Structure 1
Amino acid sequence: MASSVETLEFQAETRQLLRLVIHSIYSNKDIFLRELISNASDALDKLRLESLADSTVQADISDLHIALEVDRDARTLTVRDNGIGMSRDDLVDLIGTIAKSGTAGLLEKIKESQDAAAAQSLIGQFGVGFYSAFMVADKVTLRTRRAGTDAGTRWESDGEGTYELQAVDGLPVGTSVTLHLKPVDGEDGLADYLAGWKIRQIVKQYSDFIRWPIRMAAEQTEGATGTENDGDAAVETLNSMKALWARPRSEVTEAEYTEFYQQISHDWLAPAETIHMRAEGTFEYEALLFVPAQAPFDLFSRETKRGVQLYVKRVFIMDDCEALMPNYLRFVKGVVDAHDLSLNISREILQHDRQIQAVRRRLVKKVLGAIKTTQANDAERYGKLWDQFGRVLKEGLVEDTDNTQALLELVSLPSTHDAERPTTLRAYVERMKDGQDAIYYLTGETRATVENSPHMEAFTAKGYEVLLLSDPIDEIWADRIPAFDGHRLQSIAKGQVDLDEPADGDQEADSERSKREQDFVALLPWLTTALAEQVKQVRLSSRLTTSAACIVGDADDISPTLEKMFRATGQEMPPVRRTLELNPSHPLITGLRTAHATDPADPALPEIAELVYGGALLAEGGDLPDPARFTRLLTTHLTRTL
């Protein structure tokens, strides 16, 4: 026998907050079903725990489940569970949470905030996902009975000014939430949430891994496509309940890992690495991460998203969770399932807290550790992995200062040591010459440009290994990393490099150097003046063996390639004047010295100086400021020699 109906009125500020929840908070109306299923799952968990902890609780836990029921004629969708249920006081306290004190002050803060995301964060403390039902329903009826009690309660509201409470006898233990759905409102409005395919789609996306079965009469699913069954309707389970990450690794086969990876990544290959971890303590979570065997085609696209999905208690929260994985690990796929996490009211924006940062740090270390293990145990497999993801991993050397050393250990780079096989920095250091204190490298637009650069000549002749860096990111990270294993990284195109430095007391070498510098004492300042608009200084070089000249920068100058990259993005760059170094034994340079000594006023000398500079610029892959003039001067002087 039902008792009289009690009508309660929402407070004015509560009505405003409820209106905000219904119309402004959620970006996707489909998640109303996720919220209701999540609440039902929590109720099942609570009943199971309570029945185990309290023997006086008389409840049947042999078939805990969630049922979805559709009535097309009445346009209702019901979410039913046989979980813990609620008493009348529970209803007022739990569903009436938004009416608690502090609402008025909260609304005032929301009004003051001009940022929608900030407003969502402010109201996250209220946890009113249940009210998302009013996005798709014009009335919601809830019937519930708490385990261990005889009295049931009906709660009903249209989401406006009031709600009703009524005591009801004969209800089963558990809760049913019936949504009286609004009319379908076109492609951009309300979907038909009575259609079986739509319900299946939502359950598959958001609630597939919930541990309890989600059931629906099969005829209702098929009825959406025009098929009806006669007689008793078969019941089908809509969710897989197969959360691999929640199982011990020893109980999961490689085939299951591969199948799950392919399902979430849409990749047809097996993953290169599988990382299955569980964190316990004050903040518990499970993670199942995969490193693909092949880089996705859009790895370097601006639209590329990170591939880690976030779950909370097996409930899907979001794809591509940026808070959990840094950009340079955007190729990693997988899931993270937190037992408890600070979310805002819509569960769509993570609160920025220490828990998230701690999870992120540990996930990064696990991924880098797995790649390091492969590097140590399987060089061929590691080589393939680096070929696919090396360029993006090097971005971490710029972005992630916390893991710089770990990333430097992973770096695999081309070098002059072996034309076919790249080297690690660790291997480079082990091969360094006695007395060598720097790790030498050279950057450029292509490997061919780097290998054929005049800067390489003396290093090649004397057997010094040089790293050949031609990825665009190399221009940035190599300049920012001061050292590895106590050895500084030095560009051979910057600063003074003297591989012929005489030993202390080597008077013959000192004398030869002094004589050489004396021979050019007049030419060098003249050239510096003649090329003042292009260079800051002209000096003799010890890094050249066959080329006439090369251009070098100061230790803190940006490289020409990096300068060109900045200009290509529209950034204004002040002109960088560098140093022109001359090979004192090259015939062109000795001839220029002789001609200058014979007739310093010869009008051809400034043109030859310009050609020397232009040739050095071209040799390093640079762009001539006036190619037509350079060609004209070159043609003129070549003609004179014939």
Structure 2
Amino acid sequence: MPTETFEFQVEARQLLQLMIHSVYSNKDVFLRELVSNASDALDKLRLAKLKDDTLDADIRDLHIDIDIDKDARTLTVRDNGIGMSYDEVGQLIGTIANSGTAQFIEELKEAQDRAGAEGLIGQFGVGFYSGFMVADEVTLVTRRAGEQQGTRWSSRGEGTYTLETVQDAPQGTTVTLHLKPADPENQLHDYTSPWKIREIVKRYSDFITWPIRMAPESSPGEGDEAPQPETLNSMKALWARPRDEVSDDEYHELYKHIGHDWRDPLETIRLQAEGTFEYQALLFLPAHAPHDLFTRDFQRGVQLYVKRVFIMDDCEALLPPYLRFVKGVVDAQDLSLNVSREILQQDRHIRMMQRRLTKKVLSSVKDMMTNDQDKYATFWREFGAVLKEGLVTDTENRDAILAVASFASTHDDSEPTTLGDYVERMKDDQEDIYFITGESRQAVENSPHMEAFRAKGIEVLLLTDPVDEVWVDTVGAYEGKTLRSVAKGEIDLDAKGDDQADGEKEKQAEEYAGLLRWMREQLGDDIKEVRLSSRLTVSPACVVSDAQDLTPALENMYRAMGQEVPPTQRILELNPGHALVKGLNQAYKEGADRSALAETAELLHALAVVAEGGQPKEPSRFVQLVADRLERSL
């Protein structure tokens, strides 16, 4: 097949230019990325051979080679792993076809400093292209295990790349960097220096389970035996070494390798289980949520090893979906090497491991909450929304999740509160924990449903994550206190036994009875009921849901998931103390023109819908009615 030239996508070209002009503050990490890719390829080949012993592949000496040619100024990283086919090279290497590439470029341009840029690059997984920071040209030669032909990919990062089929490619992948000219004033970044390569591998890749070898510097003399390649890494599994023998930096580098992240983890969690079923776990809580955490394609799960043998890169069975952000390694001693995803889902030992790992992660978050508020605040800001999914799905650990959950509240504009702290601050005669859900803090704080609570100084939780619409109904109560929406059901904040208040309400009910019945008839199927409100102090009206009904936001969520949900009739509440409502009632009693009053009733209902962030049933009619009223007032 002749050599073919292809153009990068627009986003890919922009990304390459950013890489070439070096958004990284530390160029050394390019070698970590190439070694990490090579290690993954070796893992995949061993696993493929384990599943199919007829695969034509040699796995007797799986390793990574690093070769330096000072005269040609090339650096080569070679593995004898799984390799890639022609089509895979085009898909995985040629096009940077990651979802979110455009978003990444936009965020990268907005990054305020180089450290921020590094974090974004790790987040979007384009580490292969870091080679262009130090090279004018990158060439890749690869042959997939079991295939006869190989593929060569080459690019100078200037908008195009070439692909061609080659006949003599060895199994695996070879990446050759044609390094940029040497900088005499910066010998610390001379990537043709063996000492520099040793230093980078030791710092970033010492834990890699495969040998990383480098050819000796000097050539053998005539008749001399060829010197053996130097192995640069210790290949010791960090999770199997005693804690006091492993530094935080080593843990952090392992996390960056398996988490494809450029930042240090927020927390490192070690667990060693002994007894009838033995396993070791080394888990990490990231410091930042990945951009695709809430997408269907997000790859969750930790790496599974059996007796130090890599089995699976994303073992979903080891942690529940609401902990999908956790990265790490679990090494079991008593599982079969031939285990499959289907077997894992049914395996009793795996279920035991999941239970214990889940409890360990939640207890670690609890420790952060108790001992390091800054670290906890970072964790909750990044992962609180996904952790709350467990309140719906994991009844066994619901109390543990509630114990580490915190929520925005009217008590404090800057600091969130726990449910426990909320209960301690409750007024003596308060029986319920009040909350309101919505799209943003500003929207819910300005909701008319909040008026009476603000006036009486009653604290309300401000819940603005989509999952909040679901878990509050699922949980229902905390420490015997009912979780109650300020926008559902009837609210009466007056003290029990207040005869004066009760008498005033009875008087108002009698005063407005006729108007309420008439408005209910006029608004028809748009509402379930019209009644007087105890939750309004400023606004003339609001719409609320019945205590057992779905909220509009929850209805929309179900519809977005493809579920048919019949529309729910809402309740219109009127503020008997508002001048508009008083005037409407007086006009009704005096027999004013009913058509004009009907328009006013319609407008009042539409304004209540708009006030809570909704949209009138007929927006154009609503606009016309408002315009007509404004014209008449001039």
Which TM-score bucket, shorter chain as reference? 0.5 to 0.7
Instruction: Give the distance between the partners of 1:307 and 1:449, measured in 2 at CA.
Output: 36
Q: Superposition pairs for residues 460-499 of structure 1, below 5 Å?
A: 460-499=454-493
Report how far residue 321 of structure 1 moved: 0.9
Conservation of the 8 A alpha-carbon contact between 2:515 and 2:588: yes
Q: Which residue of 2 aligns with 1:596?
A: 588
> Does residue 610 of structure 1 match 2:574?
no
Report how far residue 437 of structure 1 moved: 1.4
- Aligned partner of 2:570: which letter? R
Q: Secondary structure at the match of 2:629?
A: helix
Q: Which residue of 2 aligns with 1:530?
A: 522
Instruction: Give the distance between the partners of 1:405 and 1:384, measured in 2 at CA.
Output: 22
Report how far residue 80 of structure 1 moved: 8.4
Q: Which residue of 1 aligns with 2:532?
A: 540
Instruction: Give the distance between the partners of 1:443 and 1:617, measured in 2 at CA.
Output: 15
Q: Which residue of 2 aligns with 1:395?
A: 389
Instruction: Give the distance between the partners of 1:561 and 1:258, measured in 2 at CA.
Output: 41
- Aligned partner of 1:588: which letter? L
Instruction: Give the distance between the partners of 2:506 and 2:534, measured in 1 at CA.
Output: 13
Q: Superposition pairs for residues 337-486 of structure 1, below 5 Å?
A: 337-342=331-336, 344=338, 350=344, 352-486=346-480
Instruction: Give the distance between the partners of 1:528 and 1:482, measured in 2 at CA.
Output: 32
Report how far residue 375 of structure 1 moved: 0.3
Report how far residue 215 of structure 1 moved: 9.8
> Does residue 623 of structure 1 match 2:615?
yes
Report how far residue 269 of structure 1 moved: 1.9
Structure 1 unaligned segments of length 5 or more: list them: 1-27, 39-74, 82-132, 134-180, 199-206
Instruction: Give the distance between the partners of 1:576 and 1:562, measured in 2 at CA.
Output: 11
Q: Secondary structure at the match of 1:612?
A: helix
- Aligned partner of 1:399: which letter? T
Distance 1:298 1:240, change over 3 A: farther
Structure 2 unaligned segments of length 5 or more: list them: 1-40, 63-81, 83-144, 152-164, 176-204
Distance 1:452 1:310, change over 3 A: same
> Of 272, 281, 298, which aligns to 2:266?
272
Report how far residue 568 of structure 1 moved: 4.0
Q: Secondary structure at the match of 1:533?
A: helix
Root mean square deviation, CA, Å: 3.7
Instruction: Give the distance between the partners of 2:296 and 2:241, measured in 1 at CA.
Output: 36
Instruction: Give the distance between the partners of 2:295 and 2:166, measured in 1 at CA.
Output: 32
Conservation of the 8 A alpha-carbon contact between 1:311 and 1:317: yes
- Aligned partner of 2:281: which letter? A
Distance 1:527 1:334, change over 3 A: same
Instruction: Give the distance between the partners of 1:348 and 1:507, measured in 2 at CA.
Output: 66
> Does residue 79 of structure 1 match 2:60?
yes
Distance 1:622 1:214, change over 3 A: closer
In our comparison, the structure showing a higher alpha carbon Rg is 1
1:489-509 Cα shifts (integer Å, max 9, x gaps) = 000101111002441xx4433
Conservation of the 8 A alpha-carbon contact between 2:301 and 2:317: no
Conservation of the 8 A alpha-carbon contact between 2:437 and 2:444: yes
Report how far residue 574 of structure 1 moved: 1.1
Q: Secondary structure at the match of 2:357?
A: helix
Distance 1:516 1:364, change over 3 A: same
Distance 1:575 1:234, change over 3 A: same
1:21-46 Cα shifts (integer Å, max 9, x gaps) = xxxxxxx99856458899xxxxxxxx
> Of 614, 631, 634, which aligns to 1:639?
631
Distance 1:527 1:350, change over 3 A: same
- Aligned partner of 1:79: which letter? R
Distance 1:287 1:594, change over 3 A: same
> Of 553, 573, 578, which aligns to 1:586?
578
Q: Which residue of 1 aligns with 2:96?
A: none
Report how far residue 638 of structure 1 moved: 2.9
Conservation of the 8 A alpha-carbon contact between 1:329 and 1:393: yes
Instruction: Give the distance between the partners of 1:343 and 1:563, measured in 2 at CA.
Output: 46
Conservation of the 8 A alpha-carbon contact between 1:344 and 1:351: no
Q: Which residue of 2 aligns with 1:304?
A: 298
Report how far residue 318 of structure 1 moved: 1.0
Report how far residue 596 of structure 1 moved: 0.8
Q: Secondary structure at the match of 1:445?
A: coil
Distance 1:623 1:34, change over 3 A: closer
1:564-614 Cα shifts (integer Å, max 9, x gaps) = 333344543211101111101101111111111111652111111100100
Conservation of the 8 A alpha-carbon contact between 1:318 and 1:348: no
Conservation of the 8 A alpha-carbon contact between 1:216 and 1:237: yes
> Of 250, 256, 276, which aligns to 2:244?
250
Instruction: Give the distance between the partners of 1:414 and 1:632, measured in 2 at CA.
Output: 39
Distance 1:195 1:384, change over 3 A: closer
- Aligned partner of 1:510: which letter? D
Q: Secondary structure at the match of 1:537?
A: strand
Conservation of the 8 A alpha-carbon contact between 1:439 and 1:489: yes
Conservation of the 8 A alpha-carbon contact between 1:214 and 1:238: yes
Q: Secondary structure at the match of 1:361?
A: helix
Report how far residue 632 of structure 1 moved: 1.0
Report how far residue 232 of structure 1 moved: 2.8
> Of 553, 570, 576, which aligns to 2:568?
576
Instruction: Give the distance between the partners of 1:229 and 1:635, measured in 2 at CA.
Output: 101
Instruction: Give the distance between the partners of 1:313 and 1:209, measured in 2 at CA.
Output: 16
Instruction: Give the distance between the partners of 2:521 and 2:341, measured in 1 at CA.
Output: 67
Distance 1:260 1:542, change over 3 A: same
| TM-score, with length taken from structure 1 | 0.66
Q: Secondary structure at the match of 1:554?
A: coil
Instruction: Give the distance between the partners of 1:448 and 1:476, measured in 2 at CA.
Output: 21
Distance 1:401 1:208, change over 3 A: farther
Instruction: Give the distance between the partners of 1:330 and 1:584, measured in 2 at CA.
Output: 50
Conservation of the 8 A alpha-carbon contact between 2:444 and 2:462: yes
> Does residue 184 of structure 1 match 2:148?
yes
- Aligned partner of 2:148: which letter? V
- Aligned partner of 1:184: which letter? Q
Report how far residue 233 of structure 1 moved: 4.7
Instruction: Give the distance between the partners of 1:497 and 1:189, measured in 2 at CA.
Output: 76
- Aligned partner of 2:270: which letter? H
Question: How many residue pairs align between the two structures?
Answer: 468
Instruction: Give the distance between the partners of 1:251 and 1:525, measured in 2 at CA.
Output: 78
Report how far residue 255 of structure 1 moved: 1.9
- Aligned partner of 2:240: which letter? A
Percentage of identical aligned residues: 54
Instruction: Give the distance between the partners of 1:217 and 1:482, measured in 2 at CA.
Output: 62
Distance 1:346 1:210, change over 3 A: farther
- Aligned partner of 1:537: which letter? E
- Aligned partner of 1:382: which letter? Y
Q: Which residue of 1 aligns with 2:276?
A: 282
Q: Secondary structure at the match of 1:79?
A: coil
Report how far residue 182 of structure 1 moved: 7.1
> Of 508, 523, 526, which aligns to 1:516?
508
1:438-475 Cα shifts (integer Å, max 9, x gaps) = 11000112221100011000000001000111111111
Conservation of the 8 A alpha-carbon contact between 1:317 and 1:348: no
| TM-score, with length taken from structure 2 | 0.67
Q: Secondary structure at the match of 1:350?
A: helix
Q: Secondary structure at the match of 2:528?
A: strand
Instruction: Give the distance between the partners of 1:215 and 1:633, measured in 2 at CA.
Output: 76
Conservation of the 8 A alpha-carbon contact between 1:549 and 1:581: yes
> Does residue 294 of structure 1 match 2:288?
yes
